[in-house]
């Protein structure tokens, strides 16, 4: 979570585990971060000083740490 927004990964019938969504506090999606298509699961994530950090798992079961500017 940041001061002006929060980040989420949506699961359900149309799972989008390779997308991290940024929402404002009105519930509007303001940005989509698309990760490589082989990402099948995001284990956990956090935002710190303008960077998003996440542990992701790919189709081969490998877990990697990724970071992105947000």
| Angstrom distance (rounded) from CA 18 to CA 67 | 14
| Angstrom distance (rounded) from CA 40 to CA 55 | 11
Break the chain into its structural domains and give their ranges. Answer: 5-69
**Measured on CA atoms in the order 19, 61, 69, 52, is the torsion positive or negative?**
positive
Which pLDDT belongs to residue 23?
93
pLDDT in tens, 19-64: 888 999 999 999 998 887 778 888 888 888 888 898 988 889 999 9
| Angstrom distance (rounded) from CA 47 to CA 14 | 25
Which pLDDT belongs to residue 30?
94
Which pLDDT belongs to residue 3?
74
| Angstrom distance (rounded) from CA 9 to CA 66 | 15
pLDDT bucket at 13, cuts 50 / 70 / 90: low
pLDDT bucket at 2, cuts 50 / 70 / 90: low
């Amino acid at each position: 979570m940041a001061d002006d927004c929060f980040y989420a990964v949506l699961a359900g019938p149309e799972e989008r585990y390779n997308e991290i969504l940024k929402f404002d506090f009105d519930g509007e999606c303001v940005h989509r971060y698309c990760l490589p298509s082989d990402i099948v699961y995001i284990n956990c994530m956090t935002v710190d000083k303008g960077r998003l950090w996440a542990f992701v798992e790919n189709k081969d079961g490998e877990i990697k740490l990724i970071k992105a500017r947000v």
